[in-house]
Amino acid sequence: MNDASNTQPAAVPATPSGFRGTAPAVPGDAAPQADAPTLLVKIFGRDRPGLTAGLFEVLAGFGVDVVDIEQVVTRGRIVLCALVTVPPGRDSDGALRVTVHTWAESMKMQAEIISGVGDNRPRGRGRSYVTVLGHPLTAASTAALTALITGSGGNIDRIFRLAKYPVTAVEFAVSGADHTELRSALSVGAAAHGVDVAVVPAGLQRRAQRLVVMDVDSTLIQDEVIELFAAFAGCEEQVAEVTAAAMRGELDFEQSLHARVRLLAGLDASAVDKVRAQVRLTPGARTLVRTLKRLGYQVGVVSGGFTQVTDDLKERLGLDFAAANTLEIVDGRLTGRVVGPIVDRAGKARLLREFAQQAGVPLSQSVAIGDGANDLDMLNTAGLGVAFNAKPVVRAAADTAVNVPFLDTVLYLLGITREEIEAADETDGATASQG
């Protein structure tokens, strides 16, 4: 990476012309001069230290002002663009061109200089971030999705890679398209091409503190907890059949819960510790929670499972909130009943609202993640609902779907890059093996 990496404005999205910004204002002007003449100076070739400093040393000799600057380095190749004012003096423009080309040739680079008036055209109204996850991300799927953006009236202002593994994650900054229409069009395209797409509004709210609430079974963990209990009770097949029907939305959750728990009657309470030991976190679960907590997010779980497991997960992962059903235990054995209010489909949405109120976070800044039909109300209540390896009915209703087996890919939907995650892990001494 060349020496401009410390100064390039990474948060300033570029337009297809290469830049976003405003022409320099004359002191005292109420607004930038839209018709000021400018030069677009572009160099490209093999990256090496000193290129950025060298180019601007050349430009400094002509007394120009920098209106905008952008650079991209891909596989050791740099494209560096500077939008500058036209140098003063009748012959300075031509001299600048000759000097820049001569310098570029000496550095074994190519240069292009284009005259123009003013800065870029204004960005269109309606700004969104479109995050695409591919495993792999093919040229065909990229072509289809970008065509859908255009067809929705959107313009791609900038493209930025968030991650190259375990999935390829790319973010498109889009303007000019209605957010709802864009999301609708891309959700259909994503399903047809086997990629995951999330569309979120641009703005400061994307960087605000948030609340993230997850389902537990088959989301935060790989297992269905009641099936782990059922294995010890010798009724695994019967319980699994009822669970599958409930997750498909074919059975009332509360009725199915009572039916399954009744099958556990008489099981020794020692099974609780055995089940806790068998629970397997979903790949990326620790990374997701660890990264969110570093960012100041509050994180919770709501489960149709049992507090005997979720309380342990809360302690292990340092979660802020946890709610689930509670298995009744009397004289060291499960009674086949649950005690307290049932955490069902409506209960999950209610708990999300309660957690948001306790966290001091508006619902619009909440993220919910789940996989089953009993998560639907929670997903629809949150500002962003993410269907994680979900049933078809859930994928169809959620804001976005993630269909790869890595829970930390949800971070990419929030604009967090893999490099940022790994850098923070390295600083704190965390390792990838921690998941």
pLDDT tens for each residue of 93-151 = 999 999 999 999 999 999 999 998 866 555 567 799 999 999 999 999 999 999 999 99
Write out the two tokens for 334. 């499960």
Q: Domains in the chain, ordered, with CATH? A: 3-117 (3.30.70.260), 127-202 (3.30.70.260), 212-434 (3.40.50.1000)
Mean pLDDT computed over every residue of the chain: 88
Q: Of the spans 69-73, 213-217, 398-402, which averages the highest pLDDT?
A: 213-217
| Comparison of pLDDT for 209 and 65, the residue scoring more | 65
Q: Strand order of the sheet with strand 196-201?
A: 155-163, 168-175, 127-134, 196-201
What's the rounded Cα separation, in Å, for the pair 402 and 96? 51
pLDDT of residue 315: 97
Q: To 10 degrees, the CA torsion angle through 245, 247, 253, 259?
A: 50
pLDDT tens for each residue of 13-25 = 333 333 444 444 4
pLDDT tens for each residue of 308-363 = 999 999 999 999 999 999 999 999 999 999 999 999 999 999 999 999 999 999 99
Q: What percent of the chain has pLDDT over 90?
A: 70
Asked if the model's pLDDT at residue 432 lies above 60, the reply is no
pLDDT of residue 118: 66
Q: What percent of the chain has pLDDT over 70?
A: 88
For residue 50, give the nearest of 108, 129, 115, 118 by alpha carbon: 108
pLDDT of residue 49: 94
- Read off the pTM: 0.80
Give 412: exposed, middle or buried? Use CB within 10 Å, 0-12, 13-18, 19+: buried
Asked if the model's pLDDT at residue 174 lies above 70, the reply is yes
Catalytic residue set:
215, 217
CB of 202 within 8 A of CB of 156? no
Average pLDDT for 76-85: 95
pLDDT of residue 431: 54
pLDDT of residue 165: 87
Asked if the model's pLDDT at residue 5 lies above 70, the reply is no
Asked if the model's pLDDT at residue 172 lies above 90, the reply is yes
pLDDT tens for each residue of 201-236 = 888 777 776 899 999 999 999 999 999 999 999 999
DSSP 66-109: EEEEEEEEETTEEEEEEEEEPPSSTTHHHHHHHHHHHHHHHTT-
pLDDT of residue 14: 37
pLDDT band at 246 (very low <50, low <70, confident <90, very high): confident
pLDDT of residue 34: 57
pLDDT tens for each residue of 351-390 = 999 999 999 999 999 999 999 989 999 999 999 999 999 9
In sequence order, which residues have a C-beta less than 8 Å from that of residue 83 and are 6 or more positions away? 18, 19, 21, 38, 39, 40, 41, 66, 67, 68, 69, 119
pLDDT of residue 3: 42
